[in-house]
Amino acid sequence: MHFLDQAPPFLFFTGKGGVGKTSLACASAIHLAAQGKRVLLVSTDPASNVGQVFGTEIGNRITAIDSVAGLSALEIDPQAAAQQYRDRIITPLRGVLPDAEVNSLTEQLSGACTTEIAAFDEFTALLTDAALQRQYQHIVFDTAPTGHTIRLLQLPGAWSGFLQAGKGDASCLGPLAGLDKQRSQYQAAVAALADGSRTRLILVARPQPATLREVARTQGELAALGLQQQYLVLNGVLPQQAVGDDPLARALWQREQAALAAMPEPLQALPRDLLPLLPFNLVGVAALQALLQPAGSTPAGATVAAPVPPPAPDLASLVDELARDGHGLIMLMGKGGVGKTTLAAAVAVELASRGHAVHLTTSDPAAHLAETVAGALPTLQLSRIDPQAETARYREQVLASKGMHLDAAGRAMLEEDLRSPCTEEIAVFQAFSRIIRSAGRQFVVMDTAPTGHTLLLLDATGAYHREVARQMGSKGLHFTTPMMQLQDPVQTKVLLVTLAETTPVLEAANLQADLRRAGIEPWAWLINNSLALARPQSPLLQQRAGNELAQIELVARQHARRWAIVPLQAEEPVGVARLQRLARH
């Protein structure tokens, strides 16, 4: 394995949810420990199951793994770290500032950026603790900090006053106010990350276009910050020998090979390893050891059995219910790589085929709605919002207003403020708002919607919704803002898209909690690309399908009020006919 050759002290595994970061980090730690090295495995993943993988309760303390000599593990709970971080900032302000300001600050500290920064605050000590590094020859991190977090930590420590003075806009930068370590320690940690002799970054991806595009963006962003020691691991590649006579397996293999052949150019230059798709869950030392074996052999005791898929509603049955209203806003939300664009197109085609007027729109820069629909329906309109253009327009607007009277340093800070991830979501939401207004007379199906945190942040900062409410309410006039429309279950239906895998289901559940805080109740869940419903003949895929059943049960019984499941398709779901087939089991 190239990514473990002459491994430096720090190994970071990063990638989209569900690509196998945790399994690969655990397997790598076992591999290094088997060479006689002393290894510390650290997880900062919100969906961490390192303890479950080893059958040992770990938690936020260094714990020896009895089944692997030389290996210890530590789970940094990012949610607990974020809560402690929020408490440290907010508690001294209660009773001092008005409740409205405290609530606004609380919301600014409730997003993903706070969790990232709080987790980095915790494991900075691991990168700079000389005594710990003498004790362990390797520290393996499951989940690396993003380029956004690293860039923030490189900035001057003057954010608190800048934001409190109202010079910044709705952003993710508020969390920086709570960093409690010395800036010199952060600088040392960032220097360790950029030092190729000490740190190696392992980019983990599946052989799928969406995950490869995402990991290429990560590669470029981190390389620009000085993290040049990068390796690529393509995980879960379907072996050709597992295809056999299964038409589904052959179609999947061909699709993966095409994705690998069309891999983004920056990734092609990286040292690369391919790991085969395995039929079993990666729990236990034997299974993890098999992950890094060239043949990916099944550990003793593993069996193959065709799963019995559960009775499950299809997408078309949900669309029947949606169609009864005759119009409205339908938003598909979920993490990247779960298939939101395809399912948005399928929903739109189903509605249009019933004779309804439908406007299908996306802000996904990688989405190609016209190619996905690949056909015409008389009542279907397509549009795409360009996130870069909308964000540039929004930045210019803020710089022209709030930046007009700032000095050079203040303007530089404002420009960095406007480079935060929330800025793009807010800018795109403004563009979406123009389209939302048309949902009173037709269906608007929206792919790639803003997160619950961003919606709350918009409301908390008193932007559009509160200003309209103040002006119109004082005149006794009836009014509806986009935020009010999103919170109205009659006007807006939110569909959460996930896969029948542990991490994507957990991420969708977290998104649901975020939306509920914003007063938005998801209408239904969509489980996409289910192997269990596709009924594969390949023994390997049959066992993979069996692993889905527990996650399908979790969605159906615990998370969703309504739900539907979409089978994995042998053919790419492109074109009106295939999209309609996708909607029906």
* CATH no. for 315-387+428-582: 3.40.50.300
- Strand pairing category for 358-362 and 443-447: parallel
Catalytically annotated residue among 14, 22, 63, 420 = 22
Across the chain, what does the average pLDDT equal? 82
Task: Map tokens 């945790």 to a residue.
Answer: 22
β-pair partners for 478: none
Position 459 scores a pLDDT of 54
444, 438 in Cβ contact below 8 A? yes
Active site residue 21: yes
List, for residues 226-255, the tens digit of each pLDDT value. Answer: 888 999 999 999 999 999 999 999 999 999
**Is the entire prediction scored with pTM above 0.75?**
yes
Catalytically annotated residue among 16, 21, 335, 402 = 21
List, for residues 75-114, the tens digit of each pLDDT value. Answer: 887 778 778 878 887 888 888 888 877 777 776 677 666 7
Lowest mean pLDDT among 227-236, 299-308, 475-484: 299-308
Position 298 scores a pLDDT of 43
Catalytically annotated residue among 23, 143, 199, 372 = 23
Position 565 scores a pLDDT of 96
Query: Following DSSP, what letter does each residue of 210-223 receive, concatenated?
Result: HHHHHHHHHHHHHH
List, for residues 172-188, the tens digit of each pLDDT value. Answer: 555 566 666 666 777 78
d(Cα 306, Cα 68) in Å, to the nearest integer? 33
Catalytically annotated residue among 20, 337, 403, 452 = 20
Domain ranges of the chain: 2-202+282-291, 315-387+428-582
List, for residues 147-173, the tens digit of each pLDDT value. Answer: 656 665 555 445 445 445 555 554 555
Active site residue 20: yes
Average pLDDT score over residue span 127-151: 81
d(Cα 166, Cα 204) in Å, to the nearest integer? 40
Active site residue 502: no
Active site residue 503: yes
Lowest mean pLDDT among 18-27, 38-47, 479-488, 562-571: 479-488
> Which residue did the predictor score with more confidence, 497 or 163?
497
Catalytically annotated residue among 503, 530, 538, 546 = 503
Catalytically annotated residue among 15, 17, 18, 168 = 18
Position 299 scores a pLDDT of 43
Interhelix angle for 112-128 vs 183-194, to 10°?
A: 80
Lowest mean pLDDT among 4-18, 355-369, 421-435, 535-549: 421-435
Residue 365 has pLDDT above 80, yes or no: no
Average pLDDT score over residue span 460-471: 49
Position 449 scores a pLDDT of 64
335, 450 in Cβ contact below 8 A? no
Active site residue 410: no
Position 149 scores a pLDDT of 63
Q: Which residues have C-beta within 8 Å of that of residue 402, sequence separation ≥ 6?
A: 166, 167, 168, 169, 414
177, 108 in Cβ contact below 8 A? no
Interhelix angle for 112-128 vs 421-436, to 10°?
A: 170
360, 344 in Cβ contact below 8 A? yes
Same fold, 2-202+282-291 and 315-387+428-582: yes
Longest CA–CA span in the chain (Å) reads 76
Residue 378 has pLDDT above 60, yes or no: yes
Position 27 scores a pLDDT of 93
Catalytically annotated residue among 45, 77, 246, 447 = 45
> Which residue did the predictor score with more confidence, 537 or 180?
537
Position 464 scores a pLDDT of 47
Position 388 scores a pLDDT of 84
Identify the CATH assignment for 2-202+282-291 out of 3.90.1170.50, 3.40.50.300, 3.20.190.10, 3.40.1260.10: 3.40.50.300
Position 548 scores a pLDDT of 92
Residue 300 has pLDDT above 50, yes or no: no
Active site residue 23: yes
Instruction: Please report which confidence band the pLDDT of residue 367 belongs to, taking 50, 70 and 90 as the band edges.
Output: low
List, for residues 430-464, the tens digit of each pLDDT value. Answer: 787 788 788 888 999 988 766 655 565 555 444 44
β-pair partners for 445: 330, 360
Active site residue 391: no
Residue 497 has pLDDT above 90, yes or no: yes
